[in-house]
Amino acid sequence: MQAHDPLLQGLRIAAFASVAALSFAAFAGGDKAKMMDSDGDGKVSASEHAAGAKSMFAKLDANADGNVTAAEMDAGHTGMKKEGGMTSAQKIAIIDGDGDGQLSAAEHTAGSASKFAKMDADGDGFATDAEMQAGHEEIGKQDRMTTKDDTSR
Ligand SMILES: [Ca+2]
Ligand SMILES: [Ca+2]
Ligand SMILES: [Ca+2]
């Protein structure tokens, strides 16, 4: 009899929807790792990560002038704007070595390499799905702290 209670059914559907949303988020994280894992061994090597970063940079640099601006990053990252809860300008500021508000390919490469080193928790030169997800969460936290320090200047 309870199974036909419309309220209960509504609750069940809501519970199912939130579980589905959670597993979708986890899937999206794993998907990113899979995208970079070009030899398909289930983990991302430093060079696979660098190659992924390079193609990401090329994709973001819409006018192909060798620099990625905040506006270009906004346009290219629409699907993952919420990553780390930061704006594109804030993300750029973290790895913008010369502080011109744009990312050169070299700045992006250096930033990605240090991101990879942070993600590779056990230091074996490979980032697993789990390390990448944990790393992105951790980096998001650190970035927020860095950003906070920056704005107080
Ligand atoms: Ca691999
Ligand atoms: Ca550009
Ligand atoms: Ca720069």
CA atoms within 13 A on the CB side of 73: 21
Ligand 2 centroid vs 65 CA: distance in angstroms? 5
Ligand 2 centroid vs 151 CA: distance in angstroms? 25
More confident residue, 80 or 90: 90
Q: What residue segments make up the domains of the chain, in order of their start?
A: 2-151
In this prediction, residues 134-148 reach a mean pLDDT of 62
In this model, does residue 138 exceed pLDDT 70?
no
Q: Which ligand is nearest the CA of 60, by number?
A: 2
In this model, does residue 24 exceed pLDDT 50?
no
Nearest to 111 by CA among 91, 128, 130: 91
Q: Which ligand is nearest the CA of 111, by number?
A: 3
The CATH superfamily label for domain 2-151 reads: EF-hand (1.10.238.10)
pLDDT in tens, 41-87: 999 999 999 999 999 999 999 999 999 999 999 998 765 545 567 89
Ligand 3 centroid vs 108 CA: distance in angstroms? 9
Ligand 1 centroid vs 42 CA: distance in angstroms? 6
Ligand 1 centroid vs 43 CA: distance in angstroms? 5
Q: Which ligand is nearest the CA of 44, by number?
A: 1
